[in-house]
């Protein structure tokens, strides 16, 4: 395994992170424990979760993923071996069963964190993240920013950062980061943290894959120059980049895109067309499509860690092995050729 540092925190994390959002929905507790055991045996000590998981999020299963991690920590007695990341849920009418209204006030951050700590059976979180912005902006498949004069959000970043500082001082979190953010939001928070001598966000967890490289447009330079590296999520685009949806022999009956039709972000015709091209490149180079897709993400200089997720052990093992794959100049040129023709079909 390879390792990198979370921003300026000094915390070392594995370049591959175990994503756990299937635990409690597509994976049982026993299967989740098996995945974590195997990941740790392969040098992966960075696990990511969120208070709203499992996915798709619903009241009946909310918090189930954190609870499965908690029972694993209790049974294995290895909390100190893991760099643990979780997230507070942002405003959304879908999640009002959590708190109503949802926001990032100091009271709600503390309430959400205490809930996570209880479910995780720990007294601290290594990386605490804002799952998505409070303000109205372009995220979750929306390409461009459209100003909405009815947006009632006012800039509360300073208060949020002060709350994170207090939690760090209390020993409840070690550091903090953002997710589904854009360049303005990340730079604004970095600026305010520096201006007031407060802890900076050390990471940004955004989508990034061969089918969505929009991070490169405005955020990649910020990540590199400001030491706020990308924690790349959906690097396999919900499995589309494995090629299984175009394989007549593959059983996709239990896959996310089959079970959960709401994830149309990765199902459009241009997305499938681009995926077929990337699968072709991999096969011509003698590579597994999944490993080529993940190796591409692993190789980007702005990526701190690549968040993989799997529902079966063979998938997990295949994904982890991507850390050993180095893409040749010919493969990288072929990838860029497809990207120039079909850029970012799954934003």
**Cα 346 to Cα 142: distance, rounded to the nearest angstrom:** 10
87 in any annotated domain: yes
263 in any annotated domain: no
71 in any annotated domain: yes
Tens digit of pLDDT for each residue in 222-265? 999 999 999 999 999 999 999 988 866 666 666 656 556 666 67
Q: Residue 165 has which token pair?
A: 């500082």
Nearest to 235 by CA among 331, 300, 139, 317: 300
**Cα 284 to Cα 286: distance, rounded to the nearest angstrom:** 6
Tens digit of pLDDT for each residue in 102-140? 999 999 999 999 999 999 999 999 999 999 999 999 999
- Residue that is written with structure tokens 């999640």 in the block: 95
**Domain count of the fold of the chain:** 1
Residue numbers of the chain with a pLDDT score lower than 70: 247-264
Residue 245's pLDDT is: 81
Q: Domain range for residue 228?
A: 3-237+300-325
**Cα 29 to Cα 22: distance, rounded to the nearest angstrom:** 10
207 in any annotated domain: yes
290 in any annotated domain: no
Q: Contact, 232 vs 217, CB < 8 A?
A: no
Model-level pTM greater than 0.85? yes
Q: Residue 257 has which token pair?
A: 């895109």
Residues annotated catalytic, as ranges: 53
Q: 183-218 in b/e burial notation, b at 16+ Cβ within 10 A?
A: bebbbebbebbeeeebbbbbbbbbbbbbbbbbbbee
Q: Which CATH number goes with the domain that contains 83?
A: 3.20.20.100
315 in any annotated domain: yes
User: Dihedral of the CA atoms 306, 194, 135, 181 (nearest 10)?
Assistant: -20
267 in any annotated domain: no
34 in any annotated domain: yes
């Amino acid at each position: 395994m390879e390792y990198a540092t979370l921003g300026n925190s000094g915390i070392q994390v594995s370049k591959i992170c175990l994503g756990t959002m299937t635990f409690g929905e597509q994976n049982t507790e026993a299967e989740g424990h098996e995945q974590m055991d195997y990941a740790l045996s392969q040098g992966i000590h960075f696990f990511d979760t969120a208070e709203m998981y499992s996915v798709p999020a619903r009241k009946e299963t909310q918090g189930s993923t954190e609870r499965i991690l908690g029972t694993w920590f209790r049974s294995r007695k290895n909390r100190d071996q893991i760099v643990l990341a979780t997230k507070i849920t942002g405003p959304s009418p879908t999640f009002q069963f959590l708190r109503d209204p949802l926001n990032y006030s100091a009271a709600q951050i503390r309430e959400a964190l205490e809930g996570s700590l209880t479910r995780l059976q720990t007294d601290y979180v290594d990386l605490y993240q804002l799952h998505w912005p409070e303000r109205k902006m372009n995220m979750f498949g929306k390409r461009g920013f459209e100003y909405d004069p009815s947006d009632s959000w006012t800039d509360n970043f300073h208060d949020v950062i002060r709350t994170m500082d207090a939690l760090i001082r209390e020993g409840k979190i070690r550091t903090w980061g953002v997710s589904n953010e854009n360049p303005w939001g990340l730079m604004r928070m970095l600026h305010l943290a520096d201006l007031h001598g407060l802890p900076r966000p050390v990471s940004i967890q955004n989508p990034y894959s061969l089918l969505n490289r929009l991070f490169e447009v405005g955020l990649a330079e910020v990540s590199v120059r400001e030491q706020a590296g990308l924690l790349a999520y959906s690097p396999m685009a919900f499995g589309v980049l494995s090629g299984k949806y175009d394989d007549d022999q593959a059983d996709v009956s239990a896959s996310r895109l089959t079970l959960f039709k709401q994830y149309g972000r990765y199902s459009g015709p241009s997305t499938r067309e681009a995926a077929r091209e990337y699968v072709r490149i991999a096969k011509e180079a003698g590579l597994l499509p999944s490993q080529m897709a993940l190796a591409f993400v692993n190789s980007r200089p702005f990526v701190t860690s690549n968040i993989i997720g799997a529902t079966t052990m063979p998938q997990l093992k295949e994904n982890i092995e991507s850390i050993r794959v180095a893409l040749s100049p010919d493969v990288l040129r072929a990838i860029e050729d497809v990207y120039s023709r079909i850029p970012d079909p799954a934003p």
